[in-house]
Chains A and B, each alone.
Chain A
């Protein structure tokens, strides 16, 4: 049985507008890393937002680990989906330190557990000496790693990454790609990664999903490629 199942999902921003995603279906296995490729405006980021619960589909259903998180009747709020997300510009809270950002999603853990998990995450992303820094005191690459640590800390069942390399320099990007692949393998997380750069997906993902902008004559907007 597939771990993440997206079935016949259609989404439009406002009634009367053309659909951004139309009748999209695909599935992912547990522990798999899938890349989503497509041109600007093809609905890549929207797909992640639908899975995270930040947007509501017009039709279709999404389930994770056998649990329906959205369909015609059900809508599970984002905080109850167990999904982690790394945003395009990282969205690190500017008024919190690296440590506060990472433990933000660990509010249900006891203090000691929280501390251990923070240490584990800092080690994973190799930022142990930066706990007291604020986001603006970090480089782009460091910010990206904090965002990743923050998203992974609550051990989400699925990690969603929206253009995680778009704010990085070319030389930094190459280094971080292999680092990220290693971190994801180590954490064993199921991950859906959106990028407009095929090289990102080739370097990190097990397979890729191509989405195309919806046109009147072009329904069923996704296809898989190896």
Chain B
């Protein structure tokens, strides 16, 4: 259709910015939609077997992890958040931020660290044996089980709930809680009747992040031998070489994720408990005394030690012991691969994010809102689903481009795109678009629209306004978007394992490879490196929160 024949308002909306958003949304959605079509495709023989003998176990395994991790992480996260916000006790200030640090620890690294620490030759049993002459009966501490997976996932993921609930309570709850106290409610009553209902939206947002992470997890479940839908996708793909059945599994997992996603949107829509003003006074913590004070410190310390200090200390010890042998020339290659993939992925994420967040700001229409919501839906989609969708789309692209390849002198049926780094990068872009988009959207929200409007009335075009006015003011958001996305990509495991080109290893795949090859000591150095990179992102989040 000729642009001039369209209505004026539509004509204004069709420009480079919106087109870029549509392309971005298509890149994100196409593979996910492709996976969903798996629901309606004819099944093969393998799928019948999977359905008959294994599917129930997979679903039960995933459900168990989701339910128990969700429960324990919520319990720990909410109780800790209320402790550090509502009360003062020794080391409270330290734990306010230190309890966010476990976010830097990728769960798969915690998994193999804990499994070695608790094993027969691990530090715990060895110390008990050598120092105290105490021999534990086999199986006393058994982390290689679904209980172990729940333990590790809970410790690594509870900070999401802790952080969101804490920030909410600090900023929004003071007048309500102080009123409840003045009206004579005891601490437990204040917690159950005021704090919990008030913080419900923040808690739910945190819980959803945890649940999406659990559904997406491959490393922990696979290492501990827990059958989940995510590990099953991997096994069907690489064990049985049956992409079709893997796609069907992914489609069913996607249905579960969509259900959760809609639940989250529904819960978010009804959040109206928040104080309408952002200027409410912060809550003044009540001092705890005696046993209560030390009890609070002890609880925080225990969680901190288990979730962060012990595994890190163990990794440091192993890294020192094995540093010399692992520090080989290919460590440099691994680092270069990791940085290259993450750098490229992050750059593309930020490019699409900046174009679409600006389009959303320029045209606040229901269409643009829906488009940007779809763009950032990838965070909820497990890596294995993204991987299988991307693979399918890339193979289809290769088939479509076959005549062109022929002209370039390639043999018939050559796979070019689907064997390239482009496939992995596309996977990263889909999975982590939300992180980049979120940062840019927040940046635009902080910038008054009048700046751009002033620039336009001063004779600058839309593009010039973007470069001269908006981009300089978005520098901080761009930086935090870059850091947060980059770190997520660096830590990523399942996508990288499924979509990497032949012989392409990153720090995360190599660390995991060492761990699954029973070379946990060798995994320590790359793991520690990954945790350090993760720490950068956590410190960034903490700094942003403070400002």
- Name A82's closest neighbour in chain B (CB-CB): B459
Kindly provide the distance from the CB of A83 to the nearest chain B CB, expressed in whole angstroms: 6
- Name A71's closest neighbour in chain B (CB-CB): B8
- In the complex, A154 has a CB within 8 A of chain B: yes
Contacts of B453 in A (CB 8 A): 52, 54, 78, 85, 87, 91
Q: Quick one: given A54-B453, A91-B448, are A105 and B12 in contact (CB under 8 Å)? A: no
- In the complex, B454 has a CB within 8 A of chain A: yes
- In the complex, B283 has a CB within 8 A of chain A: no
Interface residues as binary, A112-154 with B (CB distance below 8 Å gives 1, 0 otherwise): 0000000000000000000000000000000000000011001
Q: How large is the interface on A (under 10, 10 to 19, 20 to 34, 35 or more residues)?
A: 20 to 34
- In the complex, A202 has a CB within 8 A of chain B: no
Q: How many A-B residue pairs have CB under 8 A?
A: 73
Contacts of B460 in A (CB 8 A): 79, 104-105, 107
A107 x B459 contact (CB < 8 A):
yes
Contact residue among B451, B458, B473 (Cβ-Cβ distance under 8 Å from A150): B458
B12 x A85 contact (CB < 8 A):
no
Kindly provide the distance from the CB of A149 to the nearest chain B CB, expressed in whole angstroms: 12
Kindly provide the distance from the CB of B7 to the nearest chain A CB, expressed in whole angstroms: 10
Interface residues as binary, B456-475 with A (CB distance below 8 Å gives 1, 0 otherwise): 11111110100011001100
A85 x B457 contact (CB < 8 A):
yes
Kindly provide the distance from the CB of A194 to the nearest chain B CB, expressed in whole angstroms: 14
- In the complex, B455 has a CB within 8 A of chain A: yes
Q: Which A residues between 73 and 98 are near B, CB-CB below 8 angstroms?
A: 73, 75, 77-81, 83-85, 87-89, 91, 93-95
Q: Quick one: given A89-B448, A91-B448, are A79 and B473 in contact (CB under 8 Å)? A: no
Contacts of A81 in B (CB 8 A): 457
Most interface-central of B12, B454, B472 (chain A CB within 10 A): B454
Contacts of A88 in B (CB 8 A): 450
A83 x B457 contact (CB < 8 A):
yes
Contact residue among A52, A56, A94 (Cβ-Cβ distance under 8 Å from B9): A56
Judged by DSSP, the binding face of A is: loop
A95 x B472 contact (CB < 8 A):
yes
Contacts of A150 in B (CB 8 A): 454, 458
Q: How far is the CA of A83 from the CA of B454 in the complex (A)?
A: 11
Contacts of A154 in B (CB 8 A): 458-459
Q: Which B residues between 20 and 49 are near A, CB-CB below 8 angstroms?
A: none
A93 x B12 contact (CB < 8 A):
no
Q: How far is the CA of A221 from the CA of B309 in the complex (A)?
A: 69
B450 x A94 contact (CB < 8 A):
no
Q: Quick one: given A56-B8, A56-B12, A93-B469, are A78 and B456 in contact (CB under 8 Å)? A: yes
Contacts of B473 in A (CB 8 A): 93-95
B12 x A75 contact (CB < 8 A):
yes
A105 x B459 contact (CB < 8 A):
yes
- Name B9's closest neighbour in chain A (CB-CB): A56
B450 x A108 contact (CB < 8 A):
no
Kindly provide the distance from the CB of B411 to the nearest chain A CB, expressed in whole angstroms: 52
- In the complex, A53 has a CB within 8 A of chain B: yes
Q: Which B residues between 471 and 514 are near A, CB-CB below 8 angstroms?
A: 472-473
| Partner-A contacts on B (CB < 8 A) | 8-9, 11-12, 448, 450-451, 453-462, 464, 468-469, 472-473
Enumerate 29 A-B pairs (CB-CB under 8 Å) in ascending A order. Answer: A52-B457, A53-B456, A54-B453, A54-B457, A72-B8, A75-B8, A75-B11, A75-B12, A77-B456, A79-B457, A79-B459, A79-B460, A85-B453, A85-B454, A89-B450, A93-B454, A93-B455, A94-B473, A95-B473, A105-B459, A105-B460, A107-B459, A107-B460, A108-B459, A150-B454, A150-B458, A151-B458, A154-B459, A160-B457
